Amino acid sequence: TLIMFRVIQANCGRSRAAVIDLGVRMRDSGVTSALLQEPYVDRGGRITGLPAGMRVFSDSRNKAAVIVHQEVVCMPVSSLITEHGVYVSASGNFGSIFLTSVYCQFNAELEPYLLYMDAVLLLASRTPVIYGLDANAVSPLWFSKLPERSRGYLNRQRGELLADWIQGSRAGVLNVHSNVYTFDNRRARSDIDVTIVSDSATTWAAYEWSVSEWDLSDHNIITIVVTLDPASTVESYAPVPSWKLHSADWRRFGDELRTASMDFPLEQFRAMTSDEQVTALRSLVHQVSDAVFGRQQLRAKRRVSWWTAALTDARRELRRARRRLQHARRTHSDSATVLASYFRIARKEYERMMLHEKRNWKRYVGEHQRHPWGSVYRICRGRKKCTDLGCLRWNNELVVTWAACANVLLHSFFPAAERPVDVPVPPEVPPVLDPIEVDTCIAKVRSRRSPGLDGITGDMVKAVCTAIPEHMTTLYTRCLADGYFPTEWKRPRVIALLKGPDKDRSDPASYRGICLLPVFGKVLEGIMVNRIKEVLTDESRWQFGFRPGRCVEDAWSHVVSSVEASAAKYVLGVFIDFRGAFDHVEWDAALRRLSDLGCREVGIWRSFFSDRKASIVSSFGEVNVDVTRGCTQGSISGPFIWNILMDVLLHRLETHCTISAYAD
């Protein structure tokens, strides 16, 4: 089956109504990308009016923009987002491609834009590039029709310069002959909008270029249909399974789970290895969840929440008015003047209705902000918030593909250990697991947290524990007795979050890696941590981080009171920040500390700190890295391990100075 996707190119003429209408068209027709020129910009300098789920990347002047739907993995190339254009790397089941939008100012020299396009080609190398240009230039190369009243007719020289660049770069022009002009208003008509593809893109896919009339801008809408051979595409798959849990029938889920567990009698389950038990339990939960809840579709929902039937009728009437006006002009009918007036009235009414409905929707959302899980959430369910990953600089080189950027981030989040773990495991036999220990940890599981790679949520784990508690207790008992932490539970799904909007997207240090671990594994971690807490007696009282009932304000209050109580004339303060503290914890130090505390489960902790991996996944691939040190951010044990290691330092220092340790 051939793979097809669509790209829209349009000059919005700074019209808010045009941007809103464009977003609706993208949703209705399944278009995932758009190359815009002169988009609407609000007073805050933002391009607004597009539906949720659309990500916007603009040049430094907000004259050109690339719009990409959230289901497409995209990364802006910050070094080539300038006053001359915007450059975005996009990846999906079609592979990888660069999208570039350029607005060539009519009264500005064309050469700087051509130099910018040269830089794009140089960085892209053999990766396909699609340029969307409002060139403000005409040429037979892109089938310009040259009526004498056209502004483009007076500027053939710009067209000759651009045509020379296209031929010299061995690029291709997608424009084809059309009876519809790309620019058309009451005063002039011309073909000044050009779609260009790089040399590598000409053989990468087949293209169908068309221009259609648009009622809300002087420019008409260009649609590019890209068709690829399946052999050159990347298979799309759901990396993390998810189910329709918004109206879950948990009683039925429990009943079906008990029935399905009969295929794994407890005696047979006990005879399995720990990894086999984990696989069997996961498969059982997936099977029952598929039957009871049903899987979420991979493709995001396409709809505009505020759109109404009245708007559809108004848009249809506007198109009819335009067609009648054009027919009258072509036939030199006396009714052209009246029809032109009617068309303007219809367009203003359509714009008014769109803005009115959008304002009403915003007002409705604002009135319901106090109820985050209420009606607005139910209407918008399925939309997900994305953090855009930028192309990264690593070892003085620009990394532009998604897989390479994911690999760079993983190595930044998980630095390699300088020495292997070599701590002997004492021949201790841990106490037998009490089912109450499992229940205690299950009760602390949070429901609305994102799941790990297995897709099993906190609510599902609680339901499993209620339905088949013996299987879960058997599994955790086996892990503790064997001193083995299952491999599947040691592989987190890593989400890269930008630390702040002002951070440099090209710097790997600007991102924080959040690890989403399987909930079943978190329960076992909780059991392990609770057992150490029972024998822990030397916690430092000056540690205010990761301790129940303590916070940063308490730490600062302790500092202030210590300074005020001092009889000295001066008080010297030393402020120390451990950069990447969790990421650099040495596992052998953690194991020795656990052994010194009298931990009888050192064997399973050693297994926990071995053969770990981390993964960044997307809808068309995954990247993995070996993890050899550090406490996983997002784990149950991470803060606890950090505190018991810090306690050693705090105990040594507290006899010499006043200490206040905290975590921000």
How do residues 43-80 score in pLDDT, each as one tens digit? Answer: 888 998 888 778 899 999 999 999 998 778 888 888 88
Which residue, 549, 531, 557, is CA-closest to 440?
531
- What is the architecture, at CATH level 2, of domain 3-235? 4-Layer Sandwich (3.60)
Q: pLDDT tens, 529-563?
A: 999 998 888 888 888 988 888 888 999 999 999 99
- Identify the band that residue 381 occupies on the pLDDT scale cut at 50, 70 and 90: very low
- Identify the band that residue 305 occupies on the pLDDT scale cut at 50, 70 and 90: low
Torsion of CA 425, 426, 427, 428, to 10 degrees: -110
Query: How large is the angle between the packed helices 469-482 and 458-467, nearest 10 degrees?
Result: 100
285 CA to centre of own chain: 27
Average pLDDT of the residues of the chain: 85
**In the chain, where the domains are located:** 3-235, 307-383
- pTM here is 0.73
Q: pLDDT tens, 213-260?
A: 888 889 999 999 998 876 655 555 567 888 998 889 999 999 999 999
Instruction: Pick the more confident residue, 664 or 119.
Output: 119
Q: Rounded distance, CA 472 to CA 470, Å?
A: 6
Pairing of strands 612-618, 621-627: antiparallel
Identify the DSSP state of 633.
T
Q: Rounded distance, CA 106 to CA 122, Å?
A: 26
Q: pLDDT tens, 587-604?
A: 999 999 998 898 989 999
Q: pLDDT tens, 472-496?
A: 999 999 999 999 999 999 999 998 8
Q: HSE-up of 267 (CA within 13 Å, CB side)?
A: 0
Pairing of strands 64-69, 33-37: antiparallel
Q: Rounded distance, CA 237 to CA 297, Å?
A: 10
